[in-house]
Amino acid sequence: MENINRTIKLTISELQNFYLLVLQSVSNLFKRPVYLRDLIEQMDYTGAGTMIIIILVALFVGMALSLQIAAEFSVLGMQMYTGRVVGISIISEIGPVAAALVFAGRAGSGMASELGTLVLRHQVDTLRVFGIDPVKKLITPRVIGSILMLPALTIIADMVSLLGAYYIVTVVNNQSSTVYWDSIRLILIPQYIFSGTIKPFIFGLLISSISCYTGFTTKGGAVGLKSSTTRAFVLSTILIIFCDFIITKIILFTFGYPV
C-alpha cells in the first residue's frame, strides 16, 4: 500500500510540474526579453529539418492508402468514391497523425536529447547563475516553434499524400482525374477542414512540451539520457493517438455526421 501511495504521489507531482512548465513556457512568450534568434533556429530545426522525412512518409502513405481503397472499391463497383474516402482519411486523420508521429520521432526526440545533455553538463545551472531564465531561453522557443511548424508540415503532408493518391487512382487504376479532384473538392467542408487544422496545433504543443519536460528532468548520466529520449517519443506517440480520438469524437459530436 505504501508503494502504491508513493507512486500516486510521484505521478501527481510530476503532472503538476509538467503543467506548470507548459504554462510558464507559453506565458514567457509575452515577456521580455524575446529570444527571436533561438525561435528561428528551432523553427528551422523542427520545420526544414523534418520536412523531407514527412514528405517521403506522406507520399507512400497516400499511395498505399489509395491502392488498398481502390482495390476494395473496384470489387464493390464504387470506384467513383475512392477520392472521397481517401481525401477524408488524409485531411482529417492520417495526415495530421502521420506528420505528428514523424515530428515526434525526429524533432521531439532531438529536443529531449539536447536538453538532457545540457542538464547533465550543468549548462542549465550556468544560465541560472548568469540570471537567465532557462525555461524562457531553452523551452519557450522549442514549444512555440513546434506549434508554428507542425501545422505547416501537416499541410505539406496532406498535399503530398493527395498527389500520391492521385497518381495511383488516375495512372495505375486508370480513373478520371476530374472525378478524383471533384471528390476532393466536395469533402472540403468545415468539419474536415477544422479537424485537420486544429489537430496539428495541439499535437505540436503536446510533443514539444513532453519532449522538453523529459529532457529538462533528465538524471542519471548516459542511461538517464537514453531513458528520457525514449520516454519522450513513447509518451508523445500515446498522447497523439489518444488526443486524435478525443478530438475526432468532439468534432463529430459538434458538427454531426455529414450526409
DSSP state of 78: -
User: How do residues 31-84 score in pLDDT, each as one tens digit?
Assistant: 777 788 888 988 888 888 889 999 999 999 999 998 888 888 777 777 778 888
Q: What is the pLDDT of residue 257?
A: 60
Closest listed residue to residue 105, CA positions, set 170, 153, 169:
153
Q: What is the rounded distance in angstroms from the CA atom of residue 143 to the CA atom of residue 215?
A: 13
Q: To which residue does cell 477542414 refer?
A: 193
Q: What is the rounded distance in angstroms from the CA atom of residue 187 to the CA atom of residue 192?
A: 7
Q: Write the CA distances from 97 to 93, 100, 125, 150, integer angstroms.
A: 6, 5, 36, 11
- Domain map (residue ranges) of the chain: 34-255
Amino acid, res. 68 = Q
Q: What is the pTM of this model?
A: 0.89
C-beta of residue 83 within 8 angstroms of C-beta of residue 167: no
Q: What is the rounded distance in angstroms from the CA atom of residue 84 to the CA atom of residue 76?
A: 15
Q: To which residue does cell 507542425 refer?
A: 150
List Cβ neighbours of 167 (8 Å cut-off, separation of 6 or more).
63
pLDDT digit string (tens) for the chain, length 259 residues: 666 777 777 778 778 878 888 887 777 777 777 788 888 988 888 888 889 999 999 999 999 998 888 888 777 777 778 888 888 889 988 999 999 999 999 999 989 998 888 888 888 888 888 888 888 888 888 999 999 999 999 999 999 999 999 888 888 777 778 888 888 888 888 888 888 889 999 999 999 999 998 988 888 778 888 888 998 999 999 999 999 999 988 888 777 665 4
DSSP state of 84: H
User: How do residues 13-24 score in pLDDT, each as one tens digit?
Assistant: 778 878 888 887
